[in-house]
Structure 1
Amino acid sequence: MARTASVAELPARDKVRAASLMPAVPREVATLRTLRIAKHFPFFLAVAEEQNLHRAAERLNIAQSALSRRIADLERELGGVELFERQARGVAITRVGQVLAQDVRRILMSIEDARRNVRLIADGDRGTLRVAFSEAMLRRPVLPVVLREFRALYPSVELRAFPLTSDAQRSRLLADEVDVAFVIDEAGDADQFERLAVGQDRFQLVLPEDHPLAAKPSVQLHEIAGEALLWPARHISPRLFDRMMGAFDARGVSPNIAVEVAAVDIAYELVGARIGLGVVTAARSDRTPPGVVLRELSDLDIVLPISMLWPKGSNSPLIARFTELVRHLLNDEH
């Protein structure tokens, strides 16, 4: 009977074809083999650096015979390669061994880098922090300051910012798409999230500086009953829209809504264009454009508490450091 040639005896071209026909090594088997190989790396490097089995064994505090077995096991796991040439006064690393030593140093360095990276993330010095906020919060001094200071304190942390409505922020928090949110309070927030009170906003009136009502320090709702008004958009915050309508109704005033606006800056521009008077929150007198002023609406008694929310039971060191910084800055404000 004719003998079947082994793969080792085949021509090079046929070896490649034969290898392609061999069954793939299961991932579990490959992983176990990798672990068996990797456990020999420290012993191999010691011999490669000392070029002497006796000195390497002393350095590793093991018997020379045990070290020799380790090297023999590694050579066998690698497919029967020769990593060292045994000589009378020691060992000389082969070309194959030199290449392996370079790879082993790179692998061990990447493991050390992974260890450091994990430690930095665990300590809150590296990672990604996703911060969401409403327009009302962006116009408060604390948010720009905390973002700037957090970036300066933790430069290796990637800080991502998401301007969103309060309702969208809550949805993103629950879906684990943001880590921290600055929202207008709702009754159920304390049940769903950790919460830190940040401040509160009230509504103000934006009007041209030459408007007759601009001469007054504050304005009452009945005084703007006949005016065209720029009103916070219903689609942005339907609950707030309804609260405002209820507050006007309680004063016997039916608002003449000319335009629903999505942002304070839009209201400023439209007031400057004489489209109407703006009813806005989170407005600051030092941010108004020329020709536009702010006045208090003394009887629009809607207060909007603003809170920072984050997931209940969070053990994220990044969130902990961010909330700590927010608390510190809020204490400084007071």
Structure 2
Amino acid sequence: MSKSLTPNVPREVATLRTLRIAKHFPFFLAVAEEQNLHRAAERLNIAQSALSRRIADLERELGDVELFERQARGVAITPAGQTLAKDVRRILLSIEEARRNVRRIADGDLGTLRVAFSEAMLRRPVLPAVLREFRALYPAVELRAFPLTSDAQRSRLLADEIDVAFVIDEATDVDQFDRLHVGQDRFMLALPADHPLAALPSVRLSDIASEPLLWPARHMSPRLFDRMIAAFDARGVSPNIAVEVAAVDIAYELAAAGIGLGIITAARADRTPANIVLRELVDLDLPLPLSMLWPKGSASPLIARFIELVQQRLAEEA
């Protein structure tokens, strides 16, 4: 349990006393450094009598502590005054540091940016490139990364637990977030290179009606799971779901082992195992637009700078 700054003194009173003391610091420090009231008054551009009153007021606020010994040719700082001078310099430096930090946060040069993304987005070139560039440009910003499903990202964005989300876009949340379209994904079929369907240039849903399938896990994204079932139903196909998988790499391994054919997103030919081939599912009508989301009307300079980098990278790839 923390203790109050001054025993038996209400916090409000202690705060007011602190403010009354602090307003005298510049005057005290000038006298401490000049060791002469006249020179200190000239430096501060005030009357010597006004400066003397300031020092007297400070001594009284501190409990009638003598900070200077008056001498014929000036003043000599007391041990108590020397200790206060050291503390005042430290306090003023910390205030200046706070000012600079506030300015840097306002300018987007300092703070924390929390970025979440789905597996589909991490496998696209734009996100890793932007993360690297952001770190290089703003090394003082703490960049936190969260691999999450699209549904989890939306929930955490609404709860102010992340700042930016890369998701499979949904038409139902246009009023909740600002967004930037960053690409389009699609489902592909991952199958062993020696599977009979691998000989076809593309595959239809009817071709895999009796095949065991490796299906994106329902607990990862219930809405996407239901949309996939509906898309199969629309083609008169009831999917034979053998295993629900949580990641593309798992689907690759299980497909290679002959457990089933993988229905996957975020597929890249250059990252596909040698014993696995990818085929387009030509009649799976399930578009997967990818968007970056952030809080509606956000004024965060960090988010603004991140958005700018994403826009630049997308323009370069166009």
Bucket of the pairwise TM-score, normalised by the shorter protein: over 0.9
Work out which of the residue numbers 1, 17, 27 in structure 2 matches 1:43: 27
Alignment pair present for 1:327 and 2:311 = yes
1:273 Cα deviation after fit: 1.1
| Aligned match of 1:130 | 114
Alignment pair present for 1:145 and 2:94 = no
1:246 Cα deviation after fit: 2.2
Alignment pair present for 1:121 and 2:98 = no
Work out which of the residue numbers 168, 178, 186 in structure 1 matches 2:162: 178
Distance 1:192 1:203 in 2: 27
Q: Which amino acid aligns with 2:292?
A: M
1:301 Cα deviation after fit: 2.1
| Aligned match of 2:71 | 87
Distance 1:201 1:121 in 2: 35
Alignment pair present for 1:28 and 2:27 = no
3-state SS, counterpart of residue 231 of structure 1: strand
1:167 Cα deviation after fit: 1.4
Alignment pair present for 1:207 and 2:191 = yes
1:315 Cα deviation after fit: 0.6
Distance 1:73 1:245 in 2: 79
Distance 1:127 1:305 in 2: 30
1:215 Cα deviation after fit: 2.4
1:322 Cα deviation after fit: 0.8
| Aligned match of 1:315 | 299
1:300 Cα deviation after fit: 1.2
1:242 Cα deviation after fit: 2.2
**Retained in 2: the 8 A contact 1:189–1:195?**
no
Q: Which runs of 5+ in 1 are unaligned?
A: 1-21
Q: Which amino acid aligns with 2:155?
A: S
Alpha-carbon RMSD across the aligned residues, in angstroms, is: 1.3
3-state SS, counterpart of residue 62 of structure 1: coil
Work out which of the residue numbers 88, 93, 97 in structure 2 matches 1:109: 93
Distance 1:246 1:27 in 2: 62
Distance 1:89 1:250 in 2: 99
Alignment pair present for 1:76 and 2:60 = yes
| Aligned match of 1:225 | 209
Distance 2:15 2:231 in 1: 68
Work out which of the residue numbers 257, 261, 271 in structure 2 matches 1:287: 271
| Aligned match of 2:142 | 158
Q: Which runs of 5+ in 2 are unaligned?
A: 1-5
| Aligned match of 2:3 | none
3-state SS, counterpart of residue 101 of structure 2: helix
Q: What TM-score comes out, normalization by structure 2 length?
A: 0.95
| Aligned match of 2:285 | 301
Alignment pair present for 1:273 and 2:257 = yes
3-state SS, counterpart of residue 174 of structure 2: helix
Q: What TM-score comes out, normalization by structure 1 length?
A: 0.91
| Aligned match of 2:39 | 55
| Aligned match of 1:243 | 227
**Retained in 2: the 8 A contact 1:194–1:310?**
yes
Alignment pair present for 1:169 and 2:133 = no
**Retained in 2: the 8 A contact 1:231–1:260?**
yes
1:252 Cα deviation after fit: 2.7
3-state SS, counterpart of residue 80 of structure 1: coil
In the alignment of these two chains, the number of paired residues is 313
Distance 1:228 1:54 in 2: 94
How far does the alpha carbon of each residue in 1:58-77 deviate from its partner, in whole angstroms, 9 at most, with x for none? 00000011111111111111
1:302 Cα deviation after fit: 1.2
Query: Does the C-alpha gap of structure 1 residues 23 and 158 become closer, same or farther in structure 2, counting only changes over 3 Å?
Result: closer
Distance 1:217 1:87 in 2: 100
3-state SS, counterpart of residue 159 of structure 1: strand
Alignment pair present for 1:252 and 2:252 = no
Query: Does the C-alpha gap of structure 1 residues 94 and 23 become closer, same or farther in structure 2, counting only changes over 3 Å?
Result: closer
1:327 Cα deviation after fit: 0.9
**Retained in 2: the 8 A contact 1:173–1:311?**
yes
Greater mean deviation of Cα atoms: 41-50 or 230-239: 230-239
**Retained in 2: the 8 A contact 1:206–1:271?**
yes
1:106 Cα deviation after fit: 0.3
Stretches (4+) displaced over 6 A: none
